[in-house]
Structure 1
Amino acid sequence: MERKVQEADLSAVADVRRELRRMLSRWDAPSHGDISDVASLLISELVTNALVHTTGGAVVTATVTDRLRVEVRDCATTRPEPRAPTGDGTSGRGLFLVRTLADAWGVRTHGLGKSVWFELGGPA
């Protein structure tokens, strides 16, 4: 799956989540259990972060081999840092959830920005 999300198009988050669920429904890997709920939550958080905290939109890719790998690429060079959620619960959860729920995650910089990624479904 690869999808371009336009700048500030927060309505696209639900579309990306549905696309990922469709892709995962075809993944024949019973030993990995049902990771759709966690994957949907984490992709929503990363896409939302890219759209809220950067400009230029994002490119979302998801691939499945023996595990699921999702990358959200944007044009910002600033590396995201996990922080404590705010008292009102409206921000600060995204990377905390990714760090807590993903089997592996990270940030990869490239010439025009960065990719924030996570993996689910088995050992790294």
Structure 2
Amino acid sequence: MTKRQKGPSVQLHRRLGHTDLPAVGEARCALREFLRHRSDPEETDTAELLLSELVTNALIHTRNGAAITVTSAPGRLRVEVRDFVAGQEPAPYVPNADDGTHGRGLLLVQSLADSWGVMTQALGKVVWFELTAGKPA
């Protein structure tokens, strides 16, 4: 049973600098605290993992940092990671053996999120995912 709040949505916002890779862990902690009484532990773990992947991608592949917006509404969690660099939209691909541990982030998002996508902005893009409470296993 999900422990989501009743009523209107609530949000969490964070801004991360380009060279601030340690902020990925801080963003995970902030998300965990934000979801403490709004989500079940399994959903929180999934949200933390997917947030880490998107934030890491944004910080590594852009030069202007990232902004995180998390919206929790009854039955739904939406996480958005915005970068500020125009360019090609990210797409999942199957990494090969030479890629080491790289190239799996969007595959995880595609596999674990209920929905996800990319929205282009005037400057940069937003990569987002949603988790829905109470979905069938």
| TM-score normalized by the length of structure 1 | 0.90
Pair 1:84 & 2:94 matched: yes
In 1, Cα distance between the equivalents of 2:27 and 2:43? 16
Aligned amino acid, residue 97 of structure 1: L
Match of 1:48 in 2: 56
Does residue 69 (structure 1) correspond to residue 78 (structure 2)? The answer is yes
TM-superposed CA distance for 1:26, in Å, is 2.1
Gaps of 5+ in 1: none
Identity of aligned residues (%): 52
CA distance in 2, matches of 1:105, 1:8: 26
Matched, 1:37 2:18: no
Equivalent-residue separation in structure 2 for 1:38 and 1:16 (angstroms): 14
Q: Does residue 16 of structure 1 match 2:24?
A: no
- What's the CA shift for 1:121? 2.1
Q: How does 1:83-102 map to 2 (within 5 A)?
A: 83-87=93-97, 88-102=99-113
TM-score w.r.t. the length of structure 2 is: 0.82
- One-letter identity of the residue aligned with 1:3: R
Larger Rg: 2
Following TM superposition, the consecutive aligned residue runs of length 4 or more in structure 1 with deviations greater than 3 angstroms are: none
What's the secondary structure of 2:42's corresponding residue? coil
- Tell me the alpha carbon deviations over residues 44-103 of structure 1, each in whole angstroms, 9 at most, x when there is no partner: 000000000111000001010021100000012221011113425321111000001000
1:108 Cα deviation from its structure 2 partner: 0.4
The aligned residue for residue 119 of structure 1 is 130
Query: Matched residues in 1 for 2:96 and 2:46: separation?
Result: 22
RMSD: 1.5
